[in-house]
Amino acid sequence: MQDGCDIEHDWFTASLTFGLCVGLIVSYLPQHLRIIQTKTSEGLSPLYLLLGTVSAGSAVLNMLTMQSGVLKCCSSLGAARCLEISAGIVQLSIQWVCFTLVFVLYMIYYPQHLKHEGISLPTDSGPVIVKSPTLTPEWRLSIVFSWLAAAHFLLSLFITLIVFVTAVPSPAPGEPLPPLVYSWAKFLGVSAALCASVQYAPQLLHTYRTKLVGALSIPMMCIQTPGGVLMVLSIALRPGTNWTSWITFAVAAVLQGLLLTMCIFWKIRQNRLGIDDFGVPLGQQPPHEVEVVIPVDSDVLSTPVLAGEVADGSSDERTPLLRSQSKPR
């Protein structure tokens, strides 16, 4: 056995980490299923998803770098012991995959009527969504942020591999990391913590402004908020880690608790107002939408429309006195 590989078997830490790995998957399932079942990701902030993906990716690479020496023990240990000492990496990898999947589902199920600038023209057969080719600011940001998230992880992974190859001497089990490797690990840990510190701020602001739960999953947050405390404990007890490895999840747990509290408050408010999580009155079917894409310079987009006015410009007794300029949900 290599020097430094006589790592004590810790049943408590191993059991806690295994339970958290299972808990992570279970906790994210409500969010994944909610987006898929409702077929909309309305209510999620793209900046929140970008910061969360960057934070999770940096945390995985930080753990991989910090435990690079410990992982060398796998060559002299059995598969079960190797899995035990690398469980922290597996745990953070699951976290990154699950959160990244939320971002992927957000892009796939982004509401079609929110992708283009336009107005709604009410008709006898239902509203007609008149759109221009111009993308909405949020959808443009979502596209940019998705590319940034992918580029960040690939670049960080490439740099991590380069650091491992060029580090002399290569970190041995039980020995301090070389300065270059430690500096890179510290950078990843601090950047992950900084992203986690502000990760929930855009979502908190977005949810506060809309005063709706939207596509956010309350069951997910109910599981993850207390689970964040257990995750911090699990990572802190792993060999070869320090505060840069667990501070990310400590900050995230506190902020997620605030978001959960806000969503519960809005849920109570929605029930009182008789609307669902997306602002649609309970018992009312969403309006049938027909998409019509027209040129940007068309006069239709600049023509004010009465809320009860039909396509030919006439109106009936349902026509209100005030004009409605609100966009369709």
The answer to whether position 303 is within a domain reads no
Q: Which positions ≥6 away from 154 have C-beta within 8 Å?
A: none
Task: Return the bridge partners of 292, or none.
Answer: 130
The answer to whether position 261 is within a domain reads yes
Phi, psi of 174 (to 5 degrees): 85, -5
What is the β-pairing status of strands 290-293 and 128-135?
parallel
The answer to whether position 263 is within a domain reads yes
Give yes or no for a contact between 224 and 170, defined as CB atoms under 8 angstroms apart: no
Per residue of the chain (329 residues), give pLDDT as tens.
Answer: 455 566 566 666 677 778 778 888 999 999 999 999 999 999 999 999 999 999 999 999 998 888 776 666 766 666 666 677 677 788 889 989 999 999 999 999 999 888 888 666 666 666 666 667 788 999 999 999 999 999 999 999 999 988 877 765 555 555 677 788 888 988 998 898 888 888 899 999 999 999 999 999 999 999 888 877 777 777 777 666 677 667 767 777 888 889 999 999 999 999 999 999 998 888 766 554 545 555 545 554 444 443 334 434 444 443 343 333 444 44
Phi, psi of 326 (to 5 degrees): -75, 145
Distance CA 253, CA 259 (A): 10
Give yes or no for a contact between 284 and 230, defined as CB atoms under 8 angstroms apart: no
Domain range holding 97?
Answer: 11-116+135-273
Residue 250 corresponds to which tokens in the numbers above? Answer: 């400590």
The answer to whether position 57 is within a domain reads yes
The answer to whether position 239 is within a domain reads yes
First to last CA, the chain: 63
Q: How many folded domains does the chain comprise?
A: 1
The answer to whether position 314 is within a domain reads no
Distance CA 256, CA 196 (A): 10
Helix segments in the chain, DSSP class H? 11-38, 46-66, 68-71, 79-85, 87-108, 137-166, 179-210, 218-236, 243-273
- What is residue 132's three-state secondary structure? strand
The answer to whether position 15 is within a domain reads yes
The answer to whether position 229 is within a domain reads yes
Query: Model's pTM, two decimal places?
Result: 0.77
